[in-house]
Structure 1
Amino acid sequence: MSSTAWAAPVAERWSPPYPWYAVRTRSNHEKLTSAVLAGKGYEHYCPTYRVRRRWSDRVVVTELPIFSGYVFCRFDVKQRLPILTTPGVVSVVGFGLEPAPIDDSEIAAIQTVLESGLTAEPCPFLKEGQRIRVKHGALEGLEGILLKKKSEWRMVISVTMLQRSLAVELDREWIASA
């Protein structure tokens, strides 16, 4: 074993890892960007989920990115030029010109869920109290307020004049931000 081969793991063990950053990619370039980042030696993560797509002559199972348009990558923020010059990269997500790191626990939670083998798929980022619109089903097109009662999501439709409301249980996939 050469001395350089032995030195690299020791250096990695003592140096703290860089934080995760969200890298915005061109549309449908997540996998390409991940491959190029891997080729450059960066630790990257592009979480995907399986979806069945029906074509005219067959059904195909494809893997799509959970966060379409984004790849996660660890790097030194002061040395981000190689990231920004990677084919498919648009920018590093942050506030103004300053990239914002993503908490390791959030990335670890995503990895844990996907490695568990449970069915996971993207869903809209909605907050309780937010105005929503129903996208599918018998209530398609209706608007209301998102409410969580116990572990169920409900849409509340209010009649302002009567100061009364009606709550209906909905599947999370049926709703979107209004």
Structure 2
Amino acid sequence: MIKEPISAGGRTIDATPEVKKWYVAYTLPKSEEKAQNQLEKIGIHCYLPMHRVIRNWSDRKKKLLVPLFPNYIFVNIADKKRNETFTVKEIVRYVSFGGKPAVINESIINSLQHILDKTMDIDIEKYVQPGVYVRITHGPFAGSEGVLMRRNGNTRLLVQIDALQQGIAVNISIDDISPLNIEKISP
């Protein structure tokens, strides 16, 4: 069903719902959590992936919850409302390519959330040229999508965030995957 503009008091109102997209915003150093809190206060949906790390000090070791991608936060917002994020002083700019803000495929956000919800160790990986895109069909990560790769003889799933040129990787069984017919997951 196509929604047509509605006339109200002499002005036309577009009745089509706004399509929200995921963008990557760059934050001030060590301001990711504050940016998340401020964005949520003004009603902007965002996602700040966090993971546990062990930090060593001279007298002790401590487990900390830190941003997976320092200085970055994912923002889910309609294109015409994108500038509202700049009312949050911790947001510096959007990650852009060719003058256009990079759009992150929702399946990437879903895969990040799904993997980070599990209590598995993850590794931060530098950008890897795309290989075979797969979906995990069985096990604790079933439904996650990413790039199949090998490291030290282990089969691993890499969830790439092209706009950040980083990703996360987890060990998987080759029996738990099925190939996807995707040449490239667009940023």
Interval containing the TM-score (normalised by the shorter chain): 0.5 to 0.7
* Structure 1 residue 150: Cα displacement: 9.4
* Equivalent residue number for residue 165 of structure 1: none
Letter of the 2:117 counterpart: E
In 2, Cα distance between the equivalents of 1:127 and 1:81? 32
The percentage of counterpart residues that share the same residue type is 27
Structure 2: tracts of 5 or more residues without a match: 1-15, 131-148, 156-168, 170-187
Q: Could you say if the C-alpha distance between residues 57 and 85 of structure 1 is closer, same or farther in structure 2, counting changes exceeding 3 Å?
A: same
* Structure 1 residue 151: Cα displacement: 4.6
* Equivalent residue number for residue 105 of structure 2: 103
> Which has a greater percent of strand?
2
1:22 to 16, 24, 31: 24
In 2, Cα distance between the equivalents of 1:95 and 1:84? 19
Cα-to-partner distance string for 1:1-23 (whole Å, 9 max, x where unaligned):
xxxxxxxxxxxxx9465111111
- Equivalent positions of 1:157-172 (< 5 A) are none
- Equivalent positions of 1:10-159 (< 5 A) are 15=17, 18-127=20-129, 148=150, 151-152=153-154
In 1, Cα distance between the equivalents of 2:19 and 2:79? 12
Q: Is this contact kept in 1: 2:18–2:78, CA < 8 A?
A: no
In 1, Cα distance between the equivalents of 2:29 and 2:111? 25
For normalisation by structure 2, the TM-score amounts to 0.58
* Structure 1 residue 81: Cα displacement: 2.0
Letter of the 2:55 counterpart: R
Cα-to-partner distance string for 1:94-151 (whole Å, 9 max, x where unaligned):
22332221100000010110112212232212338xxxxxxxxxxxxxxxxxx95895
Q: Is this contact kept in 2: 1:66–1:121, CA < 8 A?
A: no
Q: Is this contact kept in 1: 2:20–2:76, CA < 8 A?
A: yes
> Which has a greater percent of helix?
1
* Structure 1 residue 90: Cα displacement: 1.2
Alignment length (residue pairs): 124
In 1, Cα distance between the equivalents of 2:117 and 2:152? 27
Letter of the 1:123 counterpart: E
For normalisation by structure 1, the TM-score amounts to 0.60
Structure 1: tracts of 5 or more residues without a match: 1-13, 129-146, 154-171, 173-178
Partner-residue secondary structure (3-state), 1:52: strand
Deviates more, 1:37-46 or 1:116-125: 116-125
Partner-residue secondary structure (3-state), 1:51: strand
Q: CA RMSD in A?
A: 2.8
